[in-house]
């Protein structure tokens, strides 16, 4: 333990650096999010397993019955499964936040002279990465199975931008839960209690016209349906500005309402 | 409250600099629970200052308020001259906090944890790595630098956690129960680290529920209980405030402790306390004559003594005298 007794070795000879910018702080947290992918590659498995199973199951088991042929159904279903993937995977930043809080890591971050919101910027970098990676894998599987986005590369790029915006908006729900709940699994369970009905009672898997009237009335107003409609439009090149705006209403509202709440929860003590 | 050593007796050199920590009437409630109930504290620069108290006394709340993690309900506090409420960002620039539980990213390696914090402090990429490697070497973690923290032992985590607080040299280092849960060897290592840091001029405020730890490390000790400071002074002052008529006895053969305890209780008519390690007996003797008689009784019973002394009570006894209750001991507690 000889060097432990040597105080000056522990202390820095380097000059104290000037206080870094908010962007520098945010980038550092983004770097942390990237490292998490490197060290916990298993999380990719979690990210894509459910959507992959859904894609294969619905296309090959139900596709023929639902749309006449599996290839027609895939063409209908794939944009929807991308929306479902992003909405479900938004849970991870909330769970990560809950873990950081329960481990006391946020106490250290909050005791540092940094931009106080930079840890959230890191969560968002992680989200964008997650949504992009999972989306690309699902899209690749779709392409292999015969899915063809009529709008080509431009449509795919526009779709991914919309997906990331959707993930950003929905992510606030889980960030609020992550700040309130100290067990990551509970964040997931409670979050999914709200998310599941929204995802399944939507137009992701079947056309609302086939549903009973009361359900159809809900489904056509469900924000997840608006997101799916816009994404189908972007992929096929038929999207209208109105459809895209409708898809963005819910994410925008969630951001406007929940981001101040997140700030308040983060700063209260 | 017994303020046993008023500030006026501080060495003159400290008068020219503001105090490292100055606290006046600090109070904090959580719902119905009063965590801190009006605390005053002055910590000069470069000192190891101990906050001693049982679980739930308010030690962690005090550190959270001083480290700007929570806002006080009333009262005021400055750290290195900066007000914790009106200028928290300046306080954060002057402090480092090592909390009760290792606040590290378990998924990242030890080195990545330090590089991340060095970047947050503003070091550029290569300097951040250099500082991380320097700290890893100083804390004997170089071999584990590229392993994920989740594979670290308790002692390694604690070392990394303290290293993470020394990216830049803090004015005040807060250590909240730095050795709770560590084995005796790891605890000794942390103690050495803390002493070395204090010698380099870092002011250290440490909380502990281990009396021995406060006694070993802290130049001054504040004893707190239920959110209030009930005494403050040096270890010696606290002990002398309680009285010094204690007889301490150590036996050559610890197999005869029970027998010796019975003899001491009979001859002195007072309850005998065993030290935490169980190797020493302490009892109020009243007078040197009574102590002599008790020692004679032990010797005539054939019990050989390896050591005996008349002296101060232990901090355990101090706490008992100040609060009327024994200190709470945690399992796996005292180690020497």
What are the distances in angstroms from CA A213 to CA A216, A219, B326?
5, 10, 72
Exposed, middle or buried by CB within 10 Å (0-12, 13-18, 19+), for A131?
Answer: buried
**pLDDT at position B267:** 87
Task: Answer with the residue of higher pLDDT: B60 or A12.
Answer: B60
**Those residues with Cβ within 8 angstroms of residue B165's Cβ, 6 or more apart along the chain or in another chain:** B96, B97, B98, B173
Residue B200, Cα to own-chain centre: how many angstroms? 19
Task: Answer with the residue of higher pLDDT: B335 or B81.
Answer: B81
Low-confidence ranges of chain A (pLDDT < 50): 1-3
- Computed over every residue of chain B, the mean pLDDT equals 85
Residue at A185 is within a domain? yes
**pLDDT at position B152:** 94
Secondary structure class of A177 (helix, strand, coil) = helix
Token digits of residue B255? 């197999």
Q: Which residues of A fall within a CB distance of 8 Å from B148?
A: 39
- What percent of chain B has pLDDT above 90? 48
- List the Cα angle A105/A109/A114 in 5-degree steps: 165
pLDDT in tens, B201-220: 899 999 998 888 888 899 99
Q: Is the pLDDT of residue B15 over 80?
A: no
- List the Cα angle A59/A60/A63 in 5-degree steps: 55
CB B55 within 8 A of CB B39: no
Q: Is the pLDDT of residue B61 over 90?
A: yes
**pLDDT at position B244:** 58
Residue at A25 is within a domain? no
Cβ of A7 and B196 within 8 Å? yes
Strands (E), B150-236: 172-176, 203-208, 220-225, 228-233
Residue A143, Cα to own-chain centre: how many angstroms? 22
**pLDDT at position B7:** 43
* pTM listed for this prediction: 0.79
Q: Which residues of B fall within a CB distance of 8 Å from A25?
A: 120
**pLDDT at position A87:** 93
Residue at A7 is within a domain? no
Least confident of B173-187, B283-297, B320-334: B320-334
Q: What is the mean pLDDT of residues B130-149?
A: 94
pLDDT-derived band at B276 (thresholds 50, 70, 90) equals: low
Least confident of A9-18, A229-238, B103-112, B146-155: A9-18
Give me the domains of chain B, ranges plus CATH numbers.
Answer: 2-107+148-239 (3.40.50.300), 245-311 (3.30.70.100)
| Number of residues assigned to chain A | 269
Residue at A247 is within a domain? yes
Interface contact A113, partner B, CB < 8 A = yes
Considering only the beta carbons, identify the residue of B102, B139, B148 that sits closest to A39: B148
Considering only the beta carbons, identify the residue of B71, B103, B121 that sits closest to A17: B121
Count of structural domains within chain A: 1
Residue at A30 is within a domain? no
The dihedrals phi and psi of B325, each to the nearest 5 degrees, come to -130, 150
The answer to whether the complex's ipTM is over 0.90 is no
Interface contact B135, partner A, CB < 8 A = yes
Q: Which residues of A fall within a CB distance of 8 Å from B117?
A: 108, 112
Mutate which of A113, A122, A184 to disrupt the B interface (most B C-beta within 10 Å)?
A113
Q: What is the mean pLDDT of residues B127-135?
A: 94
Partners of B225 in the β-ladder: B228
Mutate which of A6, A7, A20, A35 to disrupt the B interface (most B C-beta within 10 Å)?
A7
Interface contact B134, partner A, CB < 8 A = yes
pLDDT in tens, B227-275: 999 889 998 888 776 665 778 888 888 888 888 989 988 888 777 888 7
Q: Which domain holds residue A260?
A: 36-267
Q: How far apart are CA B253 and CA B272, in angstroms?
A: 18
Interface of B with A in 92-131 (CB under 8 A): 92-93, 95-97, 99-109, 112, 116-117, 119-124, 127, 130-131
Sheet holding B74-79, edge to edge: B33-43, B21-30, B74-79, B82-83
Residue at A1 is within a domain? no
Contacts for A188-193: CB closer than 8 Å, 24+ residues apart: A188/A91, A188/A94, A188/A95, A191/A91, A191/A94, A192/A88, A192/A91
CB A238 within 8 A of CB A166: no
Residue at A18 is within a domain? no
Q: Is the pLDDT of residue B313 over 60?
A: yes
| Dihedral of alpha carbons B251, B253, B258, B263, sign | negative
Q: How far apart are CA B156 and CA B194, in angstroms?
A: 15
**pLDDT at position A269:** 52
């Amino acid at each position: 333990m000889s060097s432990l007794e040597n105080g000056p070795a522990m202390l820095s000879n380097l000059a104290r650096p000037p206080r870094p910018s908010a962007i520098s702080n945010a980038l550092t947290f983004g770097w942390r999010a990237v490292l998490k992918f490197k060290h916990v590659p298993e999380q990719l498995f979690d990210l894509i397993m459910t959507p992959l199973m859904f894609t294969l199951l619905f296309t090959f088991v139900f596709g023929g019955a639902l749309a006449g042929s599996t290839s027609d159904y895939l063409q209908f279903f794939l944009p929807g499964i991308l929306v479902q993937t992003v909405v479900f995977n938004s849970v991870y930043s909330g769970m990560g936040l809950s873990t950081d809080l329960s481990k006391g890591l946020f106490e250290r971050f909050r005791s540092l002279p940094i931009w106080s919101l930079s840890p959230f910027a890191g969560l968002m970098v992680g989200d964008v990465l997650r949504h992009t990676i999972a989306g690309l894998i699902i899209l690749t599987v779709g392409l292999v199975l015969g899915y063809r986005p009529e709008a080509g590369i431009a449509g795919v790029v526009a779709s991914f931008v919309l997906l990331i915006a959707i993930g950003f908006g929905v992510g606030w729900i889980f960030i609020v839960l992550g700040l309130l709940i100290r067990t990551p699994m509970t964040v997931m369970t409670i979050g999914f209690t709200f998310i599941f009905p929204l995802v399944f009672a939507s137009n992701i898997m079947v056309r609302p016209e086939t549903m009973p009237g009361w359900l159809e009335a809900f489904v056509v107003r469900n924000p997840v349906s608006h997101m799916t409609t816009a994404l189908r439009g972007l992929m096929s090149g038929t999207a209208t500005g109105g459809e895209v705006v409708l898809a963005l209403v819910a994410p925008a509202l969630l951001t406007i309402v929940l981001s101040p709440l997140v700030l308040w929860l983060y700063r209260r003590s | 409250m017994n303020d046993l050593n008023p500030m006026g007796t501080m060495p003159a050199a400290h008068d020219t600099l503001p105090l490292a920590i100055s606290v006046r009437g600090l109070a904090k409630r959580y719902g119905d629970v009063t965590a801190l109930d009006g605390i005053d504290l002055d910590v000069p620069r470069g000192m190891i200052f101990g906050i001693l108290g049982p679980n739930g006394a308010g030690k962690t709340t005090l550190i959270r308020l001083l480290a700007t993690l929570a806002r006080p309900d009333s009262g005021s506090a400055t750290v290195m001259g900066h007000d914790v409420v009106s200028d928290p960002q300046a306080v954060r620039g002057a402090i480092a906090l090592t909390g009760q539980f290792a606040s590290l990213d378990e998924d990242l390696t030890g080195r990545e944890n330090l590089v991340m914090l060095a970047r947050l402090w503003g070091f550029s990429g290569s300097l951040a790595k250099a500082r991380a490697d320097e700290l890893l070497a100083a804390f004997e973690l170089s071999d584990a630098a590229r392993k994920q923290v989740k594979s670290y032992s308790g002692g390694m985590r604690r070392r990394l956690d303290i290293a993470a607080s020394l990216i830049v040299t803090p004015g005040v280092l807060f250590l909240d129960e730095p050795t709770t849960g560590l084995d005796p060897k790891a605890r000794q290592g942390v103690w050495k680290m803390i002493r070395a840091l204090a010698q380099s001029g870092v002011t250290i405020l440490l909380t502990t529920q281990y009396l021995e730890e406060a006694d070993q490390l802290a130049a001054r000790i504040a004893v707190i209980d239920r959110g209030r400071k009930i005494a403050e002074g040096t270890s010696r002052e606290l002990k002398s405030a309680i009285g010094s008529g204690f007889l301490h006895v150590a036996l050559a053969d610890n197999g005869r402790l029970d027998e010796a305890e019975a003899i001491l209780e009979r001859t002195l008519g007072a309850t005998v306390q065993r030290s935490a390690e169980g190797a020493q007996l302490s009892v109020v003797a009243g007078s040197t004559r009574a102590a002599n008689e008790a020692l004679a009784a032990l010797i005539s019973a054939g019990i050989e003594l390896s050591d005996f002394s008349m002296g101060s009570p232990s901090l355990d006894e101090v706490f008992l005298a100040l609060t009327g209750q024994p200190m709470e001991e945690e399992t796996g507690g005292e180690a020497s």
